[in-house]
Amino acid sequence: MQLKDNFGRPINYLRLAVTDRCNLRCFYCMPEEGIHFLPKEQLLTYEEMIRLADIFSSMGVDKIRITGGEPFVRKNLIDFLDTLAKNKQINKLSITTNGILTRPYLSHLKSIGIENINLSLDSLNHDNFKKITRRDEFTNVIGTFHQMISDGFKVKINAVIMDGINDHEIIDLAKLAIEYPVSVRFIEEMPFNGSAVKQTSIRWNHIRILEKLKSAFPDIAKLPTSANSTSENYIFDQAKGNVGIIAAFSRTFCGSCDRIRVTSTGEMRTCLYGHNVLDIKKMMRNEVSDESIKASIIEVVQKRAKDGFEAEKKRGINNPIGESMSVIGG
Ligand code: SAM
Ligand code: SF4
């Protein structure tokens, strides 16, 4: 079967947060202190995640991205990935990481068929990286980046652009695509930073980011947008890679959204901006059968919001966005 939503959109992509914990404190994602990481019992176990992947893959989900929090801070992640990679219905297994603990595992990831890695890198300046992430890990992360390139991974760099913080680095970050065969993606900042302060606008939206890129690379040309892509991608002269812009706050790509999320607490979200719609962990722990879980998944997917604005509205005034991206899974 192919899971489809109430607008006929096929759902074939699952983003699975394996933990809410992290060894960085990127300020756009979580506060510096006072974070209450979830007790382990509240997280899905790996066995539950394997079952969950089996359920979704039998419903037509063939792409899974492992995210978090920082996936590599969860113990025995590699054993879990080994098992997950054996699911033949999953065509593409990928991972998003901050690159701190990742390097020793790269060759193993390759060996089990993980080729696509998204690496978060918001700055190419040691001090600025430290200011953004509140940890002194720049040298380590750059080392991971170089290793990923020399190992031949398909690397996407994720950079959240923040006014007065790293907007002056847009061009330097884009130049990575001249030197290396990477896709450098500039992401609009979203309000998922662990505080319930409503963010009504952003200074660096996709239009302004593109203007900035055009000012430095006048020959920049748009690449055809692949179906379901969240980024608009561009190439410019001499580039070995490309650059992309993700209008995550402006939400221009919702119309073709093929993704769902399962948070680190085992709850399903049919839109990043919406609320959790199904507690799969609870169902599993109450010994609900796979067939009944599938029926519930179909039911919530049939009530999916048209786009991120509608989803946000549906949360209601008593449930404003206040969660950290590390719990939902970015
Ligand atoms: N820890 C891993 C990492 O940073 O790559 C994976 C989890 S992180 C939540 C996944 C992605 O979400 C990162 O690329 C991060 O930049 C992005 N992200 C987190 N908070 C965000 C926010 N408020 N706005 C936009 N992107 C955000
Ligand atoms: Fe950690 Fe990733 Fe959030 Fe940064 S963006 S604090 S690395 S989960």
pLDDT value for 324: 92
- Distance between Cα 22 and ligand 2 center (Å): 6
Q: Which residues contact 136 (CB under 8 A, 6 or more apart)?
A: 130
3-state SS of the chain? Answer: CCCECCCCCECCEEEEECCCCCCCCCCCCCCCCCCCCCCHHHCCCHHHHHHHHHHHHCCCCCEEEEECCCHHHCCCHHHHHHHHCCCCCCCEEEEEECCCCCHHHHHHHHHCCCCEEEEECCCCCHHHHHHHHCCCCHHHHHHHHHHHHHCCCEEEEEEEECCCCCHHHHHHHHHHHHHCCCEEEEEECCCCECCCCCCCCCCCCHHHHHHHHHHHCCCCEECCCCCCCCEEEEECCCCCCEEEEECCCCCCCHHHCCEEEECCCCEEECCCCCCCCEEHHHHHHCCCCHHHHHHHHHHHHCCCCCCHHHHHHHHCCCCCCCCEHHHHCC
Q: How far apart are CA 86 and CA 75, in angstroms?
A: 20
> Would you state the pLDDT for residue 51?
98
Q: Give pLDDT tens digits for 281-293.
A: 999 999 999 999 9
Residue 161: closest CA among 69, 223, 253, 245: 245
Q: Is the CB of 18 under 6 A from ligand 2?
A: no
Q: Residue 245 has which token pair?
A: 């812009």
Q: Is the CB of 69 under 6 A from ligand 2?
A: yes
Closest by CA position to 247, among listed 197, 208, 290: 208
Q: How far apart are CA 322 and CA 326, in angstroms?
A: 12
Q: Which ligand is nearest to the CA of 67?
A: 1
Of 21, 192, 325, 328, the one to substitute when testing ligand 2's pocket (max ligand atoms within 8 A of C-beta) is: 325
User: Is residue 98 within 6 Å of ligand 2 at its C-beta?
Assistant: yes
Length of the chain counted residue by residue: 330
The pLDDT assigned to 302 comes to 97
329 within ligand 2 shell (Cβ under 6 A): no
CA pair distance 67, 90, nearest whole angstrom:
16
Residue with token string 């990043």: 272
326 lines ligand 2 (CB under 6 A): yes
What is the model's pLDDT at position 95? 98
Cβ pair 95, 117 in contact under 8 A: yes
Intervals of the chain under pLDDT 50: none
Which residue's CA lies nearest to atom 20 of ligand 1?
29
pLDDT given at position 120? 98
The rounded Å distance from CA 101 to ligand 1 centre is 16
Query: What domains lie within the chain, and their CATH numbers?
Result: 13-328 (3.20.20.70)
pLDDT for res 222? 96
pTM of the model: 0.96
Residue nearest to atom 2 of ligand 1 (CA): 97
Ligand 1 is surrounded, with C-beta below 6 A, by 22, 28-29, 67-70, 96-98, 120, 158, 160, 187, 189-190, 192-193, 248, 325-326, 330
Q: For residue 260, how far is its CA from the centre of ligand 2 (angstroms)?
A: 20
Q: What is the CB neighbour count within 10 angstroms for residue 230?
A: 20
How is the beta sheet containing 231-235 ordered, strand by strand?
221-222, 231-235, 242-246, 183-188, 154-161, 116-120, 92-97, 63-67, 13-17, 259-262, 267-269, 278-279
Cα 330 to averaged position of ligand 1 atoms, centre (Å): 5
Our answer on whether the CB atom of 22 is closer than 6 Å to any ligand 2 atom is: yes
The residues near 281 (Cβ < 8 Å, ≥ 6 apart) are 44, 48, 265, 266, 267
pLDDT at residue 228, rounded to an integer: 86
How wide is the angle at C-alpha 15 spanned by C-alphas 13 and 21, nearest 5°?
A: 175
52 C-beta closer than 6 A to ligand 2: no
Query: pLDDT tens digits for 138-161?
Result: 999 999 999 999 999 999 999 999
Atom of ligand 1 nearest to the CA of 192: 23
- Count other C-beta atoms under 10 Å from residue 199's C-beta: 13
Q: Tens digits of per-residue pLDDT, 308-327?
A: 999 999 998 888 898 899 99
Residue 287 pLDDT: 98
Give the pLDDT confidence score for residue 231 in this predicted structure: 93
Distance 29 CA to ligand 1 centre (A): 7
Strands 183-188 and 154-161: parallel
How much distance in Å is there from the Cα of 286 to the middle of ligand 1? 32
